[in-house]
Structure 1
Amino acid sequence: MGVLLDSFGPALWLVLSPTNLVIMVLGIIAGTILGALPGFGAAQALALMFPFTFGMTPEAGVLFFIAIYAAAEYGGSIPAILIRTPGTSAAAITVLDGYPMARAGKASRALKISLYTGVVGSIASSFIFLFAASGLAWIGLQFGPSEMFAVGIFGLSVIGSFFGDSPVKGFVATGIGLFLAMIGSSGFSGLRFTFGQASLLDGMPLIVVIIGFLAMPEVFRLMAARRGDDPEVASLGGENREANHVGLKVMRKLVPTMVRSTLIGTAVGAIPGPGATVSSLLAYSEEKRFSKHPEKFGTGIDEGVAAPETANNAVVAGSLIPSLALGVPGSGAIAILLGLLISKGIVPGPLLFQQNGPLVMAVFAGLIVSAVLMLVVGIAGVRVFALVARVPRYMLAPFVLMLLVIGTYAYHNYAAHIVIAILIGAFAYWLETIRVPVIPIVLAFVMAPIIEANLNRAMVIHGGDLSFALTRPITLIILGLAVLSIVLGFFRARRARHESAAAKENLGETP
């Protein structure tokens, strides 16, 4: 580790060269814009920008990608806050409090908190790597297929227990997400639930599901809005400077949230597989658990935006640890980054830290500098982004619909995906009318392939014997936490019902 730290000075000098700074600024701008587009997450942004790296040096190409990756995670929160359309799956958690905050006339506040906490998460996780890379890489090595299967089950338990009016509705939504994820080819062999439709043979793309469940219902609501009959939008872009101000006092209050979420994001990132979505979910649920007023989550509070945004930005540095040290990509975006390194003749793995110490340090110095650049670009752009909130809903509807249709079609140039997204949107709109939450559907859809793939690998390794879940200590502990999470979820819901009934009874007795 001392050798790596000795390389930090030269690496920082390399990052701060004028050419590389310009490349990183361009990466920040491109990543923010692409991350804000529905369907263009970090992986899609990197894939789209890959051809631009052909003429770059390995260092410049890596820094360009690092800037895009970091900015795309922030960019996904912009439409999530303003129009309830997360640009990335991780930003789906930001919708829960970011969008209500914007509807209350505090769009600028939500965007600033997202930006500031994201920058803190990115910088803090980068420094954590500098001092604990070897330990975090060791943790990643302890998680095999059976442990990853257990992590997926734990994620489902959190999703079902803590979203919606009750755990029952949460688990119903989780079940719907699991069912949709089963459509198409099976990891165990064969096809499932395709109903003879060619458009379903490859399953439902995540992007189509995200757009259908989270964006299309909002389009329907926008279309239903009438001129002059939209008080919520009238207050959305309000000029209450005090309410939208985010100063040192606010940030000091969020320090415990940022510390917890940074640790969660870095730890989850160090485990190949879960990614930013899981880290955002865990950070949000943990913050809700630590809060003295958990009932305020989902109504538009600062901690509800800060927790997922800090965590999903901290994942960037955390996910690079197993990727560079072990050559194991923790996400699609990291897989593309490793592809860039290999195309430049650099082989990721344990020897990379010894043979290319300056390059490894340049990656993390680049993350720190990217965070600073993102802060500058973000501060300059917050006022522009917040102007979106001023557009009346009836005028915004056709533009959002056009954006969603283009994003859905552009994913695979397949018109059937547009039809699927619209049908899913109508279904989601109906679910929300009966108070069944749709976010657990999307999150369960994300978790399902992780669970199935790792269950398949674990069964192959253990000869089809499912007892591995009860014999491996880490797996057993994580599954125990999943059961505990479910029990706590039902207990909390029962207590909330009793408190609500008691409050109504007291109101009835009050003259």
Structure 2
Amino acid sequence: MTLVENFLPALWVVLSPTNMVIMTIGVVIGILLGALPGFGASQALALTFPFTFGMEPVSGVLFFIAIYAAAEYGGAIPSILIRTPGNAAAAITILDGFPMAQKGLAGRALKISLYTGVFGSMMSSFVFLFGASGLAWVGLQFGPTEMLAVGIFGLAIIGSFFGDSPVRGFIATGIGLFLATIGSSGFSGTRFAFGQAALLDGLPLIVVITGLLAVPEAFNLMAARRGDDMKLAKHLDQSAAGNRVGWKDMRALMPTMWRGTLIGTAVGAVPGAGATVASLLAYNEEKRWSKHPEKFGTGVDEGVAAPETANNAIVAGALIPSLALGIPGSGAIAILLGLLISRGIVPGPLLFSQGGDLVMSVFVGLIVSALLMLVVGIAGIHAFVQVARVPRYILAPFVLITLMIGTYAYQNYATHVVLTLVIGAVAYWFEKIRIPVIPIVLAFVMGPIIEANLNRAMVIHGGDLSFVLQRPIALVILVLAVVTAVFSFLRGRPRIVRQAEA
């Protein structure tokens, strides 16, 4: 039987009352855990792994699929409302989602995030069904050398399109790379630990995300004037025209959603790339295709739709190399593979031919999870928006205390709380001198990808750096990185001249 012939049997399995209840619970858990700052899909799956022990194999996989998909959407909720991403990929959503919330359009931003995320998840699932084998082959073409080039290309984009000028963007990118080098080296020894035990293993991602993005916003909330709360409250009525998202709005975003879906699925098929790369590329491409790129970062619909579509589309994309080749593309997928192997299901090429019913159940489960996410998300948007109604002098200490508790609970380590506050204070100062902090976070995420693949490539090629010139795909990507960086400086030159004259 082919995968398509397994569709109806798999559909009946997924739609069984037991599995529907399990998936609904998974969606709710995924959204709630995904909305916690720094608590991404990997942590959500690791936390809920014990609950799968009493489930049937298919039910356990569907439970994980629902949590995984919902957690990717949940990360956008705090990004939009309080400028605190639930995961690194959702940091891109801050660029336009949070400005929309500041304009009183938090409901609109949440709805666009939900609708486009559901679209990306569903459409990438269809790509998964019809193009899994072809995309798995594409993923095989990306070895350590190509992933090194992808990482460098990501840095070029990060430095080019964030901040008031390319110079500030690349300075922020360099700071992020420096933070990524703290701790154990992939080559040997430790770096920049300064004899401090807390730095030997490097800075945890939750500390960096919380410190750079969440703590400064808590400080800003404390410094806000009470009059700002009154102005904001006038625009939070969900019946207001600006917060309505209808079919006309979604039709206008259709090209954005298709681009985001294709980028997310393609990046997901490349092992190790991750949702952050997909969101970054989607936002970059949308800005490049836009007729009004200067409006990005001020709160435009496309700025929310592009990263959220790609972020959710990567779920199905990441499953392609994982199920077809047994290669986990992320920490969350690695946990999912662990679940499959623990149940006697071995991922690999034979799974598509011998386990078509299970593969199809995964495909159908993704679609049903997206629909359940739509229902739960619509029901929850009104409750989510109420966060923006809370007076800032009340919300500020609550947010700060919550961040401190969450950071401490990560490993029950008080030093992480201190590091978070120190990084937050520095980030607050960076914002005053107009050095963007989002490139720091993104470069911190990209740093380990670049270093690990550079290490692997040099081991494979005996330390000869000329291996880059021998790989056509890597060479093309590196040329694109150089062109991107040069173009950004040329584009920013007139603005720098105007600022100097002023």
User: TM tier, shorter chain?
Assistant: over 0.9
Superposition deviation, residue 352 in structure 1? 1.1
CA distance in structure 1 between the aligned counterparts of 2:463 and 2:143, rounded to whole angstroms: 16
User: When the two structures are superposed, what TM-score results if normalisation uses the length of structure 2?
Assistant: 0.98
Question: What are the ranges of 5 or more consecutive residues in structure 2 without an aligned counterpart?
Answer: none
Q: Structure 1, residues 113-150: CA drift from partner, whole Å, max 9, x if none?
A: 00000000000000011111111000000000000000
CA distance in structure 2 between the aligned counterparts of 1:339 and 1:501, rounded to whole angstroms: 55
Q: Structure 1, residues 63-85: CA drift from partner, whole Å, max 9, x if none?
A: 00000000000000000000001
Q: Contact conserved, 1:103 with 1:235, CA < 8 A, in 2?
A: no
| Identity fraction in percent | 75
Q: Contact conserved, 1:39 with 1:411, CA < 8 A, in 2?
A: no
Question: Residue in 2 aligned with 1:508?
Answer: none
Q: Contact conserved, 2:117 with 2:312, CA < 8 A, in 1?
A: yes
Q: Contact conserved, 1:103 with 1:236, CA < 8 A, in 2?
A: no
For residues 419-438 of structure 1, what are the structure 2 equivalents within 5 Å? 419-438=418-437
Question: Residue in 1 aligned with 2:87?
Answer: 88
Determine if the alignment matches structure 1 residue 470 to structure 2 residue 463. no
Q: CA RMSD in A?
A: 1.5
Superposition deviation, residue 501 in structure 1? 7.4
For residues 430-449 of structure 1, what are the structure 2 equivalents within 5 Å? 430-449=429-448
CA distance in structure 1 between the aligned counterparts of 2:348 and 2:499, rounded to whole angstroms: 58
Q: Structure 1, residues 28-49: CA drift from partner, whole Å, max 9, x if none?
A: 0000000001121000000000
Q: Contact conserved, 1:106 with 1:244, CA < 8 A, in 2?
A: yes
Flag the 1:100–1:381 CA change in 2: closer, same or farther, 3 A. Answer: same
Question: Residue in 2 aligned with 1:395?
Answer: 394
CA distance in structure 1 between the aligned counterparts of 2:234 and 2:433, rounded to whole angstroms: 27
Q: Structure 1, residues 360-393: CA drift from partner, whole Å, max 9, x if none?
A: 1111110000000000000111111111110111
CA distance in structure 1 between the aligned counterparts of 2:152 and 2:18, rounded to whole angstroms: 46
For residues 83-482 of structure 1, what are the structure 2 equivalents within 5 Å? 83-228=82-227, 230=229, 233-235=232-234, 237-238=236-237, 241-482=240-481
Letter in 1 for 2:461: H
Superposition deviation, residue 471 in structure 1? 1.1
CA distance in structure 2 between the aligned counterparts of 1:283 and 1:491, rounded to whole angstroms: 22
Comparing 6-15 with 279-288, which one deviates more in the overlay? 6-15
Flag the 1:330–1:235 CA change in 2: closer, same or farther, 3 A. Answer: farther
Superposition deviation, residue 236 in structure 1? 5.7
CA distance in structure 2 between the aligned counterparts of 1:487 and 1:431, rounded to whole angstroms: 25
Comparing 423-432 with 236-245, which one deviates more in the overlay? 236-245
Q: Structure 1, residues 321-368: CA drift from partner, whole Å, max 9, x if none?
A: 000000100001000100110111111111111221100111111000
Comparing 487-496 with 152-161, which one deviates more in the overlay? 487-496
Question: Residue in 2 aligned with 1:74?
Answer: 73
Superposition deviation, residue 496 in structure 1? 4.6
Equivalent position SS for 2:465: coil
Superposition deviation, residue 233 in structure 1? 3.7
CA distance in structure 1 between the aligned counterparts of 2:151 and 2:194, rounded to whole angstroms: 28
CA distance in structure 2 between the aligned counterparts of 1:193 and 1:488, rounded to whole angstroms: 33
Comparing 102-111 with 348-357, which one deviates more in the overlay? 348-357
Q: Contact conserved, 2:121 with 2:313, CA < 8 A, in 1?
A: yes
Q: Contact conserved, 1:164 with 1:437, CA < 8 A, in 2?
A: yes
Q: Contact conserved, 2:165 with 2:496, CA < 8 A, in 1?
A: no
Flag the 1:350–1:389 CA change in 2: closer, same or farther, 3 A. Answer: same
Letter in 1 for 2:193: T
Equivalent position SS for 1:50: helix
Flag the 1:134–1:495 CA change in 2: closer, same or farther, 3 A. Answer: farther
CA distance in structure 2 between the aligned counterparts of 1:114 and 1:373, rounded to whole angstroms: 15
Equivalent position SS for 2:2: helix
Superposition deviation, residue 220 in structure 1? 0.8
Equivalent position SS for 2:21: helix
Superposition deviation, residue 493 in structure 1? 1.3
Superposition deviation, residue 228 in structure 1? 3.9
CA distance in structure 2 between the aligned counterparts of 1:231 and 1:281, rounded to whole angstroms: 35
Q: Structure 1, residues 401-432: CA drift from partner, whole Å, max 9, x if none?
A: 12111111111111100000000000000000
User: When the two structures are superposed, what TM-score results if normalisation uses the length of structure 1?
Assistant: 0.96
Question: Residue in 1 aligned with 2:54?
Answer: 55
Flag the 1:239–1:130 CA change in 2: closer, same or farther, 3 A. Answer: closer
Flag the 1:408–1:232 CA change in 2: closer, same or farther, 3 A. Answer: farther
